[in-house]
Amino acid sequence: MKVLIVEDEPALARALVDAFTEAGFVAEHAADGEEALHLGAIEPYDAVVLDLGLPSMDGVTVLRRWREAGIDLPVVVLTARGRWPEKLAAFSAGGDDYVTKPFEIQEVVVRVRALIRRTSGNASDEIACGPVRFDPSRGSVTVDGRPVRLTAHELKILDYLLHRRGRIVSRLDIIDHVYERDQDRDSNVIDVLIGRIRRKLGVNMIATVRGRGYRLEAPGRAPS
């Protein structure tokens, strides 16, 4: 899953990016409001961590403009402002959750993961489809209780497919959500990684939809 960190304090931004990367996310950074506004409009992020006190354009304005443009990505607002009027302004502009500085870095990661889970319609921390179960907080995958070892990129792809189970996702969609903007993007690599995931899971769950991409379904379930 891909998250945008919008924070102008370099040390805090680095700590957040490192924490999300360690947790298995693709984490990208914007240091001011103008850059955040642009990236949120062109990149398919799964969530945003948005500071309110930003140079060039404040976070509330960024958030309001995203919502006015129909960009409905989940947003966790973080700021040193603790008074209710600032919180109300953030929620009124379209924020989904709120964390006041100082905070524990891992709390932000947990809140973002929970927000993505709820947005995807998952009630539990664990994501399941048929015999496959994935615990994002631990990065562990099991099939019928059997542990399955996947590489970091394989985990990111499976995570993305599980959050969109039953839906067709294109190779470009997968690339956009598992690679950073400055990384080499080759759709042939996705085909190879999908093949590896299929072999390691050992169950027929990832279907190739000719000309469109892939769809993950529980075994024996007819596609809709």
Which residues does 177 contact at the CB level (< 8 Å), separation at least 6?
1, 2, 26, 44, 46, 156, 160
Instruction: Please indicate, yes or no, whether residues 98 and 149 belong to a single structural domain of this protein.
Output: no
Predicted confidence band at 80 (pLDDT cuts at 50, 70, 90)? confident
Which residues does 127 contact at the CB level (< 8 Å), separation at least 6?
117, 133, 134, 136, 159, 162, 163
Task: Provide the pLDDT for residue 49.
Answer: 97
Question: Hey, what's the torsion of the CAs at 33, 73, 163, 103, to 10 degrees?
Answer: 50
Instruction: Please indicate, yes or no, whether residues 168 and 90 belong to a single structural domain of this protein.
Output: no
Q: Is the pLDDT of residue 38 over 80?
A: yes
Instruction: Please indicate, yes or no, whether residues 94 and 65 belong to a single structural domain of this protein.
Output: yes
> Which pLDDT tens digit goes with each residue over 175-216?
988 887 766 666 688 999 999 999 999 988 999 999 899 999
Instruction: Please indicate, yes or no, whether residues 85 and 134 belong to a single structural domain of this protein.
Output: no
Instruction: Please indicate, yes or no, whether residues 55 and 164 belong to a single structural domain of this protein.
Output: no
Which CATH number does the domain housing residue 153 bear?
A: 1.10.10.10
Task: Provide the pLDDT for residue 141.
Answer: 95
Nearest-5° Cα angle at 129, 126 to 132: 75
For residue 152, give the nearest of 63, 26, 27 by alpha carbon.
26
Overall domain count for the chain: 2
Predicted confidence band at 223 (pLDDT cuts at 50, 70, 90)? very low
Domain end call among 69, 97, 119: 119
Instruction: Please indicate, yes or no, whether residues 75 and 151 belong to a single structural domain of this protein.
Output: no
Task: Provide the pLDDT for residue 185.
Answer: 62
3-state DSSP assignment of residue 58: coil
Instruction: Please indicate, yes or no, whether residues 100 and 166 belong to a single structural domain of this protein.
Output: no
| Domain encompassing residue 103 | 2-119
Whole-model pTM over 0.85? no
Q: What percent of the chain has pLDDT over 70?
A: 93
Domain end call among 119, 136, 171: 119
Q: What is the total residue count of the chain?
A: 224
Say which amino acid occupies 173: D
Domain end call among 119, 148, 182: 119
Which CATH number does the domain housing residue 15 bear?
A: 3.40.50.2300
222 part of a folded domain: no
Instruction: Please indicate, yes or no, whether residues 60 and 85 belong to a single structural domain of this protein.
Output: yes
190 part of a folded domain: yes
> Which pLDDT tens digit goes with each residue over 40-52?
999 989 999 999 9
Q: Are strands 132-135 and 127-129 parallel, antiparallel or unpaired?
A: antiparallel
Instruction: Please indicate, yes or no, whether residues 9 and 98 belong to a single structural domain of this protein.
Output: yes
What does the alpha-carbon distance between residue 190 and residue 178 come to, in Å, rounded to a whole number? 10
Q: What is the mean pLDDT of residues 161-184?
A: 85
Instruction: Please indicate, yes or no, whether residues 108 and 203 belong to a single structural domain of this protein.
Output: no
What does the alpha-carbon distance between residue 20 and residue 14 come to, in Å, rounded to a whole number? 10
193 part of a folded domain: yes
